Structure 1
């Protein structure tokens, strides 16, 4: 009988995701009891001063998780001997406010409980709290991640969805990480806050074809507004526009309501509304914010566990932008 129980326990250990089993909501309760307060104070001060921080941090978290897992590898600064993830072409537009809020929290945590809290946990918790702060749903974030020890720009290309990709390509990137089409659409709802640079959609509003100057998927008046906003793009490549022109600083479902009206900014936004695999979910989330929030919650909880390092798989960095 004892042998049978042992075999059953061994089987369960194999079947259960080891990384998920090692994350705990109260991981820092004894080691760093002020963890939650420091995170809350840091993000509150930063968001009040720089209202784009929530969107910036959410985007940084998504970019970080999708390459080598949620291990803060995107925070690493390049050296003469290594070009890090943050210097890959697609990551050059990641806003500085996202990096800054993590560094600020890490500085305070190192003063309070040195060598205890990982940058990966700071980024995961700060993202959740910032999303909640701007009206989004609260979701569970288990803690106990270690920081990754690899960060290479060469690993980024092809592992992050680009707004110019076809829906087939984007769905494949998510599928290769175990995410369904519905989860992909829910995570795309992150565009309800934040902005996109003109360079990411400029081809859709200028010289679309010989017969049409603008991609017909855009609302004509909206396209005119985008052209005006991006008029100086050749001289100023940092120009950008809000992804959700209705409530750009509030996490809600208006992003999905905008898509059928031709008010999506990116090619991938239009793709979500036109592809038969994704359109039903766009309609569902546009008509029911509760459904969107529930789906986003499940998808973010799942994403926050992707490729995490625990135990001896990683380290607790002394500073977030460099390996120990």
Structure 2
């Protein structure tokens, strides 16, 4: 692992990935949040080894087909960048590196901080849906469950609240949080921690008949569509979409972090960049790694 890792072997690697993201964003504005989420879901299962990209086979149900990854997207962008890089620099740039560089560039394109990333990650050869179910956090988790989940990956409570800030961009599927609106405790009730006025707005967009394809913006002020601190102000106003976001006020450390970020974009950007860098280095380069020819299958 090293900064400017491809400076000699593939000097245009990072530029190709960035331009691929620029073009993709012109076609689909939400691709930036899709790839950021993909980077997180890859990192938390088997480490940053592109195991989230491996397709299932008759003998193995892979991560991408786990229920927790039902709405995972961004695969086509990674494949597009990989296709170009294989022509430019065959068997040189790993799929794992492409994911993390693309996520960094997505944050940058959405107005967030730019941060330098080392390269040199290898692609893994193992991808199991059961591992995704075991390690990925759920939108229904409370702060104690999230604390244990992130601690298993050596993240602090402050870093938990920081990485959650990725929810400042993108959309949420109605099916991921409808229970908060219509059946919170199993008795047809509404989550009392959700602002009543905002709940009515969400119900208008996510009726009980909503399908799994129906979505709403992650923030209460969707016109921003940028990496910013509205997400944290929403938490303090009880306007978070997911339980896992709203629950951050229920621990003194995560609440203090939420308050700090709600009041300072500069501090949020600084700590978000550091947390994303740390995430990009999770469990890299285990024995047996490779550089895949195609991101969806091992060599």
TM range (shorter): over 0.9
Q: Which moved more, 1:57-66 or 1:193-202?
A: 193-202
Contact 1:230 1:239 in 2 (8 A): yes
Max radius of gyration: which structure?
A: 1
TM-score by length of 1: 0.88
Partner of 1:107: 83
Structure 1 residue 152 corresponds to structure 2 residue 152? no
Out of 63, 82, 100, the residue aligned to residue 60 of structure 2 is 82
Long gaps (5+) in structure 2: none
Partner of 2:266: 290
Whole-angstrom distance in 1 between the partners of 2:297 and 2:259: 44
- Equivalences for residues 67-216 of structure 1 within 5 A: 67-95=45-73, 98-208=74-184, 213-216=189-192
Distance 1:207 1:155, change over 3 A: closer
Contact 1:233 1:239 in 2 (8 A): no
Partner of 1:306: 282
Name the SS of the counterpart of 2:216 in structure 1.
strand
- Equivalences for residues 34-53 of structure 1 within 5 A: 34-53=12-31
Name the SS of the counterpart of 1:174 in structure 2.
helix
Structure 1 residue 246 corresponds to structure 2 residue 221? yes
1:81-138 Cα distance to aligned partner (Å, 9 max, x none): 111000010001112xx11110000000011111111000001111101101110111
Long gaps (5+) in structure 1: 1-22
Contact 2:143 2:250 in 1 (8 A): no
Give the paired residue count: 298
Q: Which moved more, 1:201-210 or 1:71-80?
A: 201-210
Structure 1 residue 272 corresponds to structure 2 residue 248? yes
Whole-angstrom distance in 2 between the partners of 1:226 and 1:131: 26
Offset, 1:313: 3.4
Offset, 1:275: 2.7
Whole-angstrom distance in 1 between the partners of 2:82 and 2:188: 51
Offset, 1:287: 0.6
Distance 1:202 1:211, change over 3 A: closer
Contact 1:198 1:233 in 2 (8 A): no
Offset, 1:273: 2.0
Q: Which runs of 4+ in 1 moved over 6 A?
A: none
Name the SS of the counterpart of 1:241 in structure 2.
strand
